[in-house]
Chains A and B, each alone.
Chain A
């Protein structure tokens, strides 16, 4: 429908909607996160769900203890190399369509522990991240902002459109890294992350 006509109609008190909008409206207001926390960011995540910040206002308070029922993974905290395979496997076990919020400096990049031998330098090396929230830890408002950003993203998705699960060639699972002799192998998934190219000044 024409956007102008829709606007005119809504001024007259007639609300028009497409199936796609209705579907996305339901989807984005019932995002169910997977219930797990990795480090201190999880405390802020818990605070977000409690009465003071009340994530329930955004329909995302139903934390599921099983990946089968979850459609959002909030990577809240430092991902150690010991934990990374489990996080990737949990992501693989979530049904499509699924989303990831990388919460805090550690989940984005390793944060203050980036130089540590045992810390993964960002979960986006293995799984596709939809929203990154900086902060150490991010305040509950920042997590709410991330949820709202994700809601906008879900709201813009096309029905039967470009999402990954419609592409038969897209991988259904992301490779889980193994514990190698010195490090995780492979060190990153080249399909979702590439090391930044260094450009040297001449």
Chain B
């Protein structure tokens, strides 16, 4: 560390302490100044509605800590069947006339696999909201 005038040589960490203090002040001073300014020139005017939960202007009803049925995620998974199917059906349809028979069969197997998944889910009764 460079020798610094006014700093005793036997405490080399003093500069670091000084640095830490200055860094903290540097961060806190603007916050404190803003708080003081707000106290003097822009006082708070709070009220029950202003402090209430913001829900797009509607009054919030009930507690936010509720139990949500996890069954919903099965719908999300079943939706993937249609999602993936659409994704592959569009290029399939565009290239349909030039496709060889093997590719057509491969696509049919793929689509039927997905459809089978849906039928399976349907038969298991997971599309019925319980």
Contact = CB atoms under 8 A, between A and B. Distances in A.
Nearest to B50: A93
Given A96-B44, A165-B42, A68 B54 contact: yes
A89 B41 contact: no
Interface string B54-71: 101111000000000000
A97 B44 CA distance: 9
Contacts of A95: 44, 50
B52 A97 contact: no
Contacts of B41: 23, 159-160
B43 interface: yes
**Max chain B CB contacts within 10 Å: which of A89, A94, A96, A173?**
A89
Contact of B47 (A68, A90, A172): A172
A53 interface: no
A37 to B, nearest CB: 13
Nearest to A97: B42
A86 interface: yes
A176 B49 CA distance: 10
B124 interface: no
B57 A173 contact: no
B37 to A, nearest CB: 9
Interface string A95-124: 111000000000000000000000000000
A89 B57 contact: yes
B40 A89 contact: no
Main secondary structure of the interface of B (DSSP, over half): loop
A173 B45 CA distance: 9
Contacts of A87: 57
B58 A86 contact: yes
Nearest to B52: A93
21 contacts: A66-B54, A86-B56, A86-B58, A89-B57, A90-B57, A92-B50, A93-B57, A94-B50, A95-B50, A96-B43, A96-B44, A160-B40, A164-B45, A165-B42, A165-B43, A165-B44, A165-B45, A170-B45, A172-B47, A172-B50, A176-B49
Interface of A: 23, 66-68, 85-87, 89-90, 92-97, 159-160, 164-166, 170, 172-173, 176
Given A165-B43, A172-B45, 20 more contacts: A23-B41, A66-B54, A67-B54, A86-B57, A89-B57, A89-B59, A92-B49, A93-B49, A93-B50, A93-B52, A95-B44, A95-B50, A96-B42, A96-B43, A97-B42, A164-B45, A165-B44, A166-B43, A172-B50, A173-B50
Interface of B: 40-50, 52, 54, 56-59
